[in-house]
Amino acid sequence: MSIDLYALLLTLGAGMATPLGGALALIGRRGSHEDRLLALGMGLAGGVLLFLALQGLLPEACEELASLYGERGHLLALGGFAGGMAAMALLDRLLPGSAHHTHHGDGRMMKEDTEEKRSLLISALVAAVAISIHNIPEGMMLYLTATEAPMEGIPVMLAVGMHNIPIGLSIAIPIYYAGYGRMRALLVCLLSGAMELIGAVLGAFLSGPMESPLSLGLMLALVAGIMVYVSFDELIPASYSYDRRHASLLGILMGLLVMGLTMTLIHH
């Protein structure tokens, strides 16, 4: 087996942990605990995005840009971060039926409202897109690790896979419990996980501007801003609107802690 194929297979394996996590979320049936599980899932998604943005992407963006511009690179990263939030705020104003304008009232009343379900789905899909973009540099990292240090490839793949399981949970739960079915939730998880492989392909075949610290740093900062905005403006408010007995807060804390543990494994 060639080293390139080996690295691509490892990256594919790590990415497929995302739909595995989604499948775990879909084992149960929608029923009497639906509101609590939905609050937990939206909170989990919010916690996952916050940790990835503030402890993963933004520091990496600062590091990339500081390698070019020194201390000014940190300011450039913060500018990209603010730009991501501003872009989402503008999109929020332009799109009709923005989710954060309708998060109110009892969770059961919200479930009966088709517009609320549509807004909830949009929030979950925006979060999934942001996570998917984050998966591209992660796939590049895993591919380059496996090609440059093959013996380290498997433990890194396992760590990234463990990291992707709760991400799959955080994507699938809101989609499924908002009433959009198992197959749709799994499909979104599958597409998100496939972005790891796309990152590996980019790492294998693309060079030049795609690998420059400037473009990578700005992309990471922009995505971090999008993630933070989606967390605070969409996912966490939606989670609290369904909350029962602190399920929302529990989901947020779980997202933060699990991401912290898995990212520690990846970097060690």
Average pLDDT over residues 65-75: 92
Q: Which residues contact 132 (CB under 8 A, 6 or more apart)?
A: 191, 192, 195
Number of domain units in the chain:
1
Q: Is the CA virtual torsion 155, 50, 35, 246 positive or negative?
A: positive
Average pLDDT over residues 74-81: 95
- Per cent of the chain over pLDDT 70 is 84
Confidence at residue 240, expressed as pLDDT on a 0 to 100 scale = 83
> pLDDT digits over 194-242, tens only?
999 998 888 777 644 455 788 878 888 988 898 898 889 878 887 887 7
Helix (H/G/I), strand (E/B), else coil: 112: coil
Q: Domain range holding 68?
A: 3-267
> pLDDT digits over 143-155, tens only?
887 887 788 788 8
pTM equals 0.70
Report the distance separating Cα 125 and Cα 115, nearest Å. Answer: 15
Q: Which residues contact 53 (CB under 8 A, 6 or more apart)?
A: 223, 224, 225, 227, 228, 231
Confidence at residue 9, expressed as pLDDT on a 0 to 100 scale = 92
Residue 115: band (very low, low, confident or very high) from pLDDT cuts 50, 70, 90: low
Report the distance separating Cα 258 and Cα 255, nearest Å. Answer: 5
